[in-house]
Amino acid sequence: MTSPIMLRRYLAEFVGTFAYVFFGCGTRILAGNAQDAASRLIVYFTFGFTLLALTYALSHLSGAPFNPAITLGLALTRRFPWRYVLPYWISQVAGAIFASALLGLFLHEKAVRAQYAATIPTIGVWEALGIETIITLFLMLVAMSSATDKRVNRGIVGIAMGFTIILCGWFASPLTGGSMNPARSLAPALLAGGQALSEVWIYWVGPLLGAVLGSLLYELMRGGEEHALEVPQGVFEGIRKTRAVTTQEANQLPETTRQSV
C-alpha cells in the first residue's frame, strides 16, 4: 500500500481531484450567486472538461476516479482492489481540501461571498438526497460502462464522464449544487461552515448510495464476467508481478532461512 508505485497513484488522485475542485469550484466562485442557465452551464462545462482532461492525463496511472463515490462503486463490483479504497479516499479528499484552501487564499472576498462554492440544497433534505443519489447513479453507470467493459472503446472514458458531469450538474445545480462527489462537497464546506457543513452528509450519503446502485445496476446489465475489466486496466499488474517475484525468491531460500524469515 505504500510502495513507490502506489504512492505515485495516490499522488495522481490528489492532483486530479485538486484540479477538479480548483477549476470547477473556482469558476463557481467567480460566477458569484448567478443562477441563470448560462452561468450554470459555464460552471459545469468547467467541471466536465477538467474531468475530461485529467482523465486522459492520469487514467493510465491511477484509473482517474477522482471521486470517493466512484472508487467505492468500482471496489464493490470487484473492478478495483478494496485495500486501496481508503488511501484513494484520503488522496482525493486531501486534494479537494488543498484546492479549496488555495481558492480561499487567492479569491478570498469572492470565495467568502460564494461560501467557497459549497453545495447547499435549496430543496428539502430527503429530496436533495434523492437527487444526489440519482445523478450519481447515472455517473457511476457511465463509469462502469466506459471504463470496465471490454466492448467499449477506452478512448471515450474521459468524454463520457465529462459530459455526464455537465448534463447532471446543469440539471441539479439549482436544486442541490449537483455535486456527485463527496470530496468536492466536503472541502468547501469545511471552510464555509454553517449550513454547508451541517448538511454535507447529504453529499456523502447520496453519492455513495448512488454509486452503489449504479455499479450494481450495470453489473446486472453487463451480460457476463467475460466482458469485464478491472480499473485501471493492468495498472496493478506491476504490483502483482513484484509480489510474485518476491514469493518465488522466498521459496528458493534454504528451509532454515525461510523459517527465520
What pLDDT sits at residue 235? Answer: 57
In this structure, what C-alpha cell is assigned to residue 184? 468536492
What local confidence, expressed as pLDDT, does residue 252 receive? 56
- The pTM of this model reads 0.88
Which of 44, 74, 45 is CA-nearest to residue 59?
74
Rounded Cα–Cα distance for residues 89 and 71 (Å) = 8
Q: Say whether domain 4-234 belongs to CATH 1.20.1080.10.
A: yes
Over residues 207-235, the pLDDT tens digits come to 999 999 999 999 999 998 888 888 766 65
Q: Is 230 in contact with 79 (CB distance < 8 Å)?
A: yes
In degrees and rounded to multiples of 5, residue 79 shows phi and psi of -100, -5
- Contact indicator for 182, 208 with CB cutoff of 8 Å: yes
What pLDDT does residue 254 have? 52
Model pLDDT for residues 43-62, shown as the tens digit of each residue: 999 999 999 999 999 999 99
Give the list of residues 6+ apart from residue 19 with CB closer than 8 angstroms, or none.
50, 53, 54, 99
Helix ranges (H only) for the chain are 4-31, 37-62, 68-76, 85-106, 108-113, 125-148, 157-176, 182-192, 194-198, 202-222, 237-251, 255-260
- Average pLDDT for the chain: 89
For 133-143, write each residue's pLDDT tens digit.
Answer: 999 999 999 99
Residue 237 pLDDT > 90, yes or no?
A: no
